[in-house]
Structure 1
């Protein structure tokens, strides 16, 4: 049995090359950018008004002028106009191009307009209410880095620079495999000795949240059937994600079969709770990686979020950082096991806070539905006091 730190490092060091593909902009959500994105123009591309009001030349203010004949009205989308007379003004709408020879915007609330004359009722500052060209981003600057996850906000940025086709990392081909004669389909009525499949359904939903296509396969507790199916999926998929069959039971054939098929065992059993029997390996021929999680619901769910999603970030070059949470109560560590404890989280000011969810062990599926994720509690002898910060793995 190895420590969590060693297991985590080994998982992250066994990545695969997925390659890249080009997708239409609106099909790229949740994928990972495979290129740096440059600004194709200044942002904003022109000096623009940030208020509805009037545009003036501040020299008139310095000369004591407070009433300005209105020369015209400028709307957003109109090409740049010119303030013909420095003692006049142009009405201007938010987003409109600042006219030539104007350098200050006074919002309507600080003016009185009557009979074509705008009277200023405040003391303006030169240059106010103007969003200057290039003040956000200059042309040629990197605005999105390779490895950025594409969110709806990122989609907007990509659209603003004309990226109607986006180069992204390919998603891994994943096969999610359940094992065990005790499992029946969700729509079936189980016998007293049976249970419905839930682990692989949770994993399937979690992968769907990541927009990762995958297939579901079930293996009975029959060694020959397991060997036949695993041989096929090792050739067809980048990742095998199994639930169950890796403990010490007489019918836990998975480790033995994987070894016979040329899958190198990187480790089996980790000093952690839940998920101690976790098995991880790599197929020597195809390069496929195998995440074989224990069969208990919480063990499977925790290992997926801690190990697989962290591994996927490295594979994708994801530049996002770990999330930290502040625990609002004390917690007892285990002297030899790293603990992954279920928590609910909330924001308090600028910090993410968490409180523990008391469960009934790695088989407590109902409590799992209430959790927002897991905190990692390192091994130790001393109690962690209230207010300590822990690494947080959000659940999807």
Structure 2
């Protein structure tokens, strides 16, 4: 049986070819940028008014405290010119700074009566409350590097430089397979011996949060039907994710079926709890991730192995987050213990509070967890205040 570190290394060693596709920027969130993005003009492209108020020429501040208002420079209007430096123009946030002015005084610091603005104070400077042209970037500057994880701010930058379609790393084609004759659809009323499918929807949601669409299938516990279905799915997908059928039960046919199809099992069995039966295999350019059927095992193994593989495949560095145990935990088996936790921010650290649950089949308390701590196999007692690796369950790229 492999350790968690050995299993993860074997998973990470197996790459798939990277492909590029072009998508509209509104569909690019959480995708990996496959091009560089450059400024097509200075940013901002003009001297930009950064507060509502009046624009004056600062040379007049030593001479007077009142200014006659000549007019208004609104955002989106062509640049106006202040006819006399003894006067002012009202200006709106986002407008181009009027010609013959170089300072903006906010409305909160002036009093306007009968078309004249009076100043409350006189210590204003040239270019005050003005966002100068080219302050943020010059034409041709590199704004976003290739390989960047696209976030809402990235989309705003691409939009402002006119990138309506963007090249991204193509997401692998994935199908999620539920196994087990005890499973029925969400809309069905289960019999006393049945349960509704939930793991596959959980995995589908986790993939969606990473920007990857995936279809869902339910495969029956029939060896020949399973073999036929998996063979067809391997031809149509880059990656298959299985929930269930990987353990030692009489109807856990998946390991045997994969072997009969020429899929090399690189990992099957990890010294961890939950998730001991985790399976990983490869054939040609297809990868197989087999997660144990209990919901906590499925979700923890998804994050530990599939998501870690995806991040490495897309070049996203491991965040290396740690959290502090809020209470003592004991676990006597010599395996890595993944313990569900609630996470709280406390001063300059993250504190992990264990979630009381009845095991890896406890779906209700899994939903309460923010993540899990991985406690090392070398210890049996884990003291309050000690730090351990934290994996978030509910935040896409953490």
Give the TM-score normalised by structure 2: 0.90
Matched residue, 1:254: 254
State how 1:166-181 maps to structure 2 within 5 Å: 166-181=166-181
State how 1:1-396 maps to structure 2 within 5 Å: 1-61=1-61, 63-126=62-125, 127-284=127-284, 287-318=285-316, 321-332=319-330, 336-348=334-346, 352-381=350-379, 383-386=382-385, 388=387, 390-395=389-394
What stretches of structure 2 of length at least 5 have no aligned partner? none
What stretches of structure 1 of length at least 5 have no aligned partner? none
Cα deviations by residue, 1:77-126 (Å, 9 ceiling, x for unpaired): 12233333333222211111122332221111211223333221113331
Q: Matched residues in 2 for 1:350 and 1:158: separation? A: 34
Q: Matched residues in 1 for 2:71 and 2:188: separation? A: 73
Displacement after TM superposition at 1:371 (Å)? 1.6
Cα deviations by residue, 1:251-291 (Å, 9 ceiling, x for unpaired): 3221122122111111111121110110101113xx10000
Say if 1:130 and 1:351 are closer, same or farther in 2 by CA, change over 3 A: farther
Does structure 2 conserve the Cα–Cα contact (< 8 Å) formed by 1:335 and 1:380?
no
Structure 1 vs Structure 2 CA RMSD:
2.4
Q: Matched residues in 2 for 1:324 and 1:65: separation? A: 60
Give the TM-score normalised by structure 1: 0.90
Q: Matched residues in 2 for 1:250 and 1:364: separation? A: 23
Say if 1:145 and 1:347 are closer, same or farther in 2 by CA, change over 3 A: farther
Q: Matched residues in 1 for 2:321 and 2:156: separation? A: 25
Q: Matched residues in 1 for 2:330 and 2:103: separation? A: 61
Does structure 1 conserve the Cα–Cα contact (< 8 Å) formed by 2:325 and 2:353?
yes
Equivalences, count: 393
Q: Matched residues in 2 for 1:218 and 1:182: separation? A: 11
Displacement after TM superposition at 1:237 (Å)? 0.5
SS of equivalent to 2:296: helix
SS of equivalent to 1:30: coil
SS of equivalent to 2:271: strand
SS of equivalent to 2:382: coil
Q: Matched residues in 1 for 2:39 and 2:83: separation? A: 33
Cα deviations by residue, 1:31-72 (Å, 9 ceiling, x for unpaired): 3222222222222222211111111222222x3322223232
Does structure 1 conserve the Cα–Cα contact (< 8 Å) formed by 2:176 and 2:204?
yes
SS of equivalent to 2:374: strand
Q: Matched residues in 2 for 1:101 and 1:376: separation? A: 64
Say if 1:88 and 1:186 are closer, same or farther in 2 by CA, change over 3 A: closer
